[in-house]
Amino acid sequence: MTPKLTNSILYLMSISAGLVVANLYYNQPLLHEIAIAYGVSESEVSSVALTTQLGYAFGLLFIIPLGDKVSNHKILQLDFVVMILSLLAAAISPSLIYLIISSFLIGFSSAIPQLFVPMAALLSDDAGRGRAIGIVMSGLLIGILGSRVVSGLVGEQFGWRSMYYIAAVMMVLLFVLLKYKLPKIYPRYSGSYGSLMKSILHYFKTEPALRLASLRAALSFAGLSAFWTTLVFLMEDSFNYGSGVAGLFGLLGIVGALAAAAVGKMNDRYSKHKIIVVSIGLLILSYAIFMVSAHSLLGLVAGVILVDLGQQALHITNQNIIFSKNPEARNRVNTVYMVSFFIGGALGTMLGAFAWEHYKWLGVSGLGLILSVLILIVHFIFRKVA
């Protein structure tokens, strides 16, 4: 029998998603300090953010499908061991290459929040599914944005290694809480792990709506990752600010994260096509503002609010679309979507570092603008067949 989704369970999943996903983003405001500590260039240190996102993509691909086959508690138990050890390894890394390897493992093991989103969809009824997804996503997004604030301040006051020690302790406490409070779910899939993985390709091939949502997600997150990875460099270059100020910009993005629950409810009532078009419009506007704001804090503030609002509205609407079908395979469908999402993020991090190195802030914001316009084009071309 499927457990009932109570508000306490829903908010536990929301908070847990935020705390775990934060592990992926602690490094972004700290990149400048890490570069100084190891004596490497900004381009080289960006590999820390890149490999973290690649690790997350691999974790999504190989761990999350197990949510359709293995008990959620068993997955959590094994995953948290790897997560805690990799955070400690990052804290004591003697060189950049060790930190890069540890960052990959941090990303790989921090894919767990993507079990909570399909879980919320599974435990809720049709009328409340949008709200449930929105609330879990709100926690996840606040974790993403709040992580930059926390790590920026901790790094500035206590050094970048302290952030990884703190994160490891938080994960130990969170695991104990989830072990005793999270409902156990026993999936019905009885096939082998190999057949489970092969079925992912089947859903990708046969679901055009899933393919289109995944492409929209990859392009939008590519632009956002390019922005957040290079923002700390802009703060140093144009304003002579450190990681603390760069991290504080995450507070502005929480506006978009708090709107996630509202967007989830809107998905239960309004046309998803209209929500998607408005979301993309916000992205285009935000990058246009960024292009003229290399020396304007006010412009950057306005752009951050708009880019995160547009990104989260698009992301939640995408997930509502893909979870409306194939209830027996929501973790595998989510795997396709989220792997695409973070491959786009890793590509954006790489392109953002290149754009910054050769064209500075104009190149980074121009990259985001091009990617956002491309989302609008592919949405209108392929939405009818999806």
> What is the pLDDT at residue 78?
93
For the segment 314-329, what is each residue's pLDDT rounded down to a tens digit? 988 898 888 877 777 8
CB-side exposure of 71: number of CA atoms within 13 Å?
A: 9
Spans of the chain, pLDDT less than 70: 1-3, 126-127, 242-244, 246-247, 250, 253-254, 256-265, 267-268, 385-386
> What is the pLDDT at residue 385?
66
> What is the pLDDT at residue 126?
67
| Cα–Cα distance, 101 to 64 (Å, whole number) | 21
> What is the pLDDT at residue 386?
57
Nearest 5°: the CA angle 200, 21, 294 is 110
> What is the pLDDT at residue 265?
67
CA distances from 79 to 103, 188, 377 (A): 15, 21, 39
CB-side exposure of 105: number of CA atoms within 13 Å?
A: 18
> What is the pLDDT at residue 328?
73
> What is the pLDDT at residue 61?
87
CATH class, range 7-182+193-382:
mainly alpha
Q: How do the domains of the chain map onto residue ranges?
A: 7-182+193-382
> What is the pLDDT at residue 3?
64
| Cα–Cα distance, 182 to 368 (Å, whole number) | 39
Contacts with 291 (C-beta within 8 Å, 6 or more apart), sequence order: 362, 365, 366, 369
184 touches 75 (CB < 8 A): no
Name the token pair of 294: 């290399």
Identify the CA nearest to 10 among candidates 178, 136, 113.
136
Indicate the pTM of the whole model: 0.77
> What is the pLDDT at residue 374?
97
